[in-house]
Amino acid sequence: MKLRKALALGLAAAMTVSMIGCGSTADTTTDSADTTEATDDATEAADTTESTDSTETTTDGVPGYLDINLDDYTDLTASIKFLHCRTDREEDGSMAEMIAAFNEKFPNIEVKTEGVTDYAEDALLRLSQGNWGDVMWIPAVDKKDLGSYFMPLGSTEEMSKTLNFVNQNAYDGITYGIPVWGNAQGVVYNKAVFEAAGITKLPTTPTEFLEDLQLIKDNTDAIPLYTNYAAGWTMGAWDAYIGVVSNGDATFMNQKFVHTANPFDDPGDDTGIYNLYRILYDAVANGLIEDDYTTTDWEGCKGMINNGQIGAMVLGSWAYSQMVEAGDHGDDIGYMPFPMTVDGTQYALAGGDYNYAVNVNSSDENKIASLVFIKWMLEESGWSVREGCYSTVIGGENPDMYSAFDGCEMLSDEVALAGEEEFLNEMNAESELSFNAGGNAKVQSIVEAAATGSKSLDDIMGEWTTAWNDAQDELEIEVLY
């Protein structure tokens, strides 16, 4: 299935880790996945809104997202605030340029923007205080609490006919957030480095990828695989591939994982979670990374891969445009599917990123203006294409950077079963492993163990299994697989 076709079907994802890479110097994880920590204070601070099943209106006097026709609101007057994490786009002026373009069509809607570096924590704090504005990107809020903070946007079923990934921040059939854009999960790489190393075919398995990294080391001066260990949040990107490596099963991550007894065992066929992390462990153990992983530089690595000093980095497709823009060799930057093939089929994962949401406590005028702003950003700003991401709008304009995904079967993690929405959050907290958000330390520990030889990968996976099984016992979660 081609990527364009797969996304046009409106597949929805609940897990995207470290996708946007907030800001130019952000040290944070993303909100797109369900998380283990939504503050009690924040829950108590906001008034709960009773959502409706209507697709025509979401609150009295305010139309639903689908009912907004942009041409009908060119005379609307309002002043709204937009809170986000893309400090880099504030700094380079592109956010201001988008707002100026918006005001060409909507001259009476003032949009104040604020980019926040430590967004994951800061946004939650602002929610608890109620002082964040009108439009924000949803941080780590439990789904049951979405209606406490955010305006219902419409029926998830109806919205999914027009937009991708709208069940990501939905509860009881109502959508509260719309992804800024979609991302595929793969590997950003330098095509010139791969060619110089003698790599003529992109890898499709962990073993092939490790062999290619060795070719880069043997035949070029580039760092084969850059870990971005020191940044911390970037390491969480590895967790985003769990669904795609687990037998090509879109239900695994959010439905079966918590019920699986031994998810970290080596299946012996170059697939599964074990071999996902084996890539990282073996790359470190075999000297296929930077000389000193403790001194990696997130900002610096962008220019390094652009000019051929780095071969590859495991990051979501959100990183692609940043690498392209970081130097004079943007044409050398490529993006490929994660190297994992299950029973002869290579799978790839797509999902939504941060979600736009509207403050449930804003005035009706500001709610309408916020919906107009969000719809314009999604449909007319062109931002997703410039960032190298997929349009949230089904049939919207998409970049051509995903040609390497042709022939892959696309997956999009299905949401948790009814009544089990918090199971993964609870397992993450109880096991202290954090697989769907905030698992940076866990992945960093793999680098540390491989570099020092203090633990084998089998040792690490065994420890994870024990922690996982203990959490299942403590939480009384039934083991089914």
Distance CA 175, CA 5 (A): 23
Alpha-helix residue ranges (DSSP H) falling in 220-271: 242-245
How sure is the predictor about 448, in pLDDT bands with cuts at 50, 70 and 90?
Answer: very high
Range picked from 231-235, 431-435, 457-461 for highest mean pLDDT:
457-461
Q: Give Cβ neighbours of residue 332 (< 8 Å, ≥ 6 apart).
A: 190, 191, 192, 193, 306, 308
How sure is the predictor about 338, in pLDDT bands with cuts at 50, 70 and 90?
Answer: very high
Q: With 90 as the cut, is the pLDDT of residue 377 above it?
A: yes
Which residue is associated with the tokens 């041409």? Answer: 71
Q: With 80 as the cut, is the pLDDT of residue 31 above it?
A: no
Q: With 80 as the cut, is the pLDDT of residue 223 above it?
A: yes
Return the C-alpha torsion angle 477, 349, 2, 183, nearest 10: 130
If one compares 179 and 20, the residue with the highest pLDDT of the two is: 179
Closest CA to 440 of 240, 223, 169: 240
Q: Give Cβ neighbours of residue 286 (< 8 Å, ≥ 6 apart).
A: 210, 214
Distance CA 152, CA 175 (A): 6
**pLDDT at position 58, please?**
53
If one compares 469 and 404, the residue with the highest pLDDT of the two is: 469
Please, how many CA atoms are within 13 Å of residue 393, restricted to the half-sphere of its CB? Answer: 18
Lowest mean pLDDT among 4-13, 66-75, 329-338: 4-13
If one compares 474 and 437, the residue with the highest pLDDT of the two is: 474
pTM of the model: 0.72
Provide the CA 471 distance to its chain's centre, in angstroms. 26
Region of residue 149 (phi > 0: left; psi between -120 and 50: alpha; otherwise: beta): alpha
Provide the CA 14 distance to its chain's centre, in angstroms. 9
Distance CA 464, CA 453 (A): 18
**pLDDT at position 20, please?**
42
For the stretch 36-93, pLDDT in tens is 333 344 444 444 333 334 344 455 689 999 999 999 999 999 999 999 999 999 999 9
**pLDDT at position 464, please?**
97
Q: Facing residues of 113 across strands?
A: 82
Lowest mean pLDDT among 43-57, 176-190, 352-366: 43-57
What 8-state DSSP symbol labels residue 163? Answer: B
Return the C-alpha torsion angle 299, 305, 311, 317, nearest 10: 70
* CATH number 3.20.20.70 is the correct assignment for the domain at 3-181+353-407: no
The mean pLDDT value for 295-305 works out to: 97
Across the chain, mean pLDDT equals 87
Angle between helix 423-431 and 457-475 (nearest 10)? 120
Domain boundaries, the chain: 3-181+353-407, 185-349
For the stretch 399-406, contacts whose Cβ atoms lie closer than 8 Å and that sit 24 or more positions apart, written own/partner, are: 401/317, 401/320, 401/334, 401/335, 402/3, 402/184, 402/317, 402/335, 404/186, 404/202, 404/334, 404/335, 404/336, 404/337, 405/2, 405/3, 405/184, 405/186, 405/336, 405/337, 405/348, 406/2, 406/3
Q: For domain 185-349, give the fold.
A: D-Maltodextrin-Binding Protein; domain 2 (3.40.190)
For the stretch 382-420, pLDDT in tens is 999 888 888 899 888 878 888 888 888 877 788 888 889
Q: Do domains 3-181+353-407 and 185-349 have the same CATH topology?
A: yes
